[in-house]
């Protein structure tokens, strides 16, 4: 049964590839190679209640209540290519995303692969319960992202 499913999946992939490579006339088209540049790995943003002295996070977690404080640390795959980054906080649902805030942060040392945000009351950071993404950008290039949840009252 498993072999049959694998064979059917493989045949479907070949048919889909052939369909994608055919033009309006039904004849095969030559794929044009595009230089997308090097794809760099995305860093991560980790969350906790507090930030320690050496940028270590204390009490890691991703679920918070409105009365909690939150701190985070962005860990980049490589040093950022600029000395200014944009941090964007976005509320997200299944159907949409809404930008909540944007801020520019300056790096004191361009060789660092980490930047942190000191603890802040969640009620001052985000408006309502839900999932929020914290993303760091250099221009249009996303360098790191993490998601946390603000729980509804009573949970």
pTM for this prediction: 0.72
The C-alpha atoms of residue 38 and residue 136 are separated, in whole angstroms, by 19
- Of the candidate ranges 11-20, 61-70, 142-151, the one whose mean pLDDT is the lowest: 11-20
Cβ atoms of residues 107 and 87 within 8 Å: no
Average pLDDT over every residue of 49-74: 92
pLDDT at residue 13, as a whole number: 40
pLDDT at residue 52, as a whole number: 87
pLDDT digits (tens, 9 = 90+) for 1-55: 333 333 333 444 443 444 444 444 444 444 444 444 455 689 999 999 999 888 7
For the domain with range 43-150, which CATH number is right: 3.30.70.360, 2.60.40.1930, 3.40.50.970, 2.40.30.170? 2.60.40.1930
Count Cα atoms within 13 angstroms, Cβ side, for 126.
28
pLDDT above 70 (res 138): yes
CA distance to 52, 73, 114, 134, per residue, from 91 (Å): 27, 19, 23, 9
The C-alpha atoms of residue 28 and residue 4 are separated, in whole angstroms, by 28
Average pLDDT over every residue of 125-131: 94
The candidate with the shortest Cα–Cα distance to 146, out of 81, 80, 63, is 63
Tokens 């059917």 label which residue?
8
The C-alpha atoms of residue 105 and residue 76 are separated, in whole angstroms, by 15
* Residues of the chain by 3-state class (helix, strand, coil), percent to 5: 15, 45, 40
DSSP 42: P
Higher pLDDT, 36 or 67: 67
The C-alpha atoms of residue 28 and residue 31 are separated, in whole angstroms, by 9
């Amino acid at each position: 049964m498993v072999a049959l499913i694998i064979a059917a999946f493989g045949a479907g992939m070949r048919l889909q590839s052939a369909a994608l490579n055919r033009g309006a006339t039904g004849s095969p088209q030559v794929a044009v190679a595009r230089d997308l540049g090097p794809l760099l790995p995305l860093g991560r943003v980790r969350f906790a209640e507090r930030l320690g002295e050496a940028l270590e996070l204390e009490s890691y977690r991703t679920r918070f209540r409105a009365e909690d404080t939150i701190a985070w640390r962005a860990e980049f795959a490589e040093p950022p290519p600029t000395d200014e980054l944009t941090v964007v906080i976005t509320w997200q649902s299944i159907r949409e995303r809404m930008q909540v805030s944007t801020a520019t942060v300056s790096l004191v040392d361009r060789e660092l692969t980490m930047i942190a945000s000191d603890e802040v009351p969640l009620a001052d950071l985000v408006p309502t319960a839900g999932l929020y993404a914290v993303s760091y950008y250099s221009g249009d290039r996303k360098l790191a992202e993490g998601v946390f949840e603000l729980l509804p009252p009573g949970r």
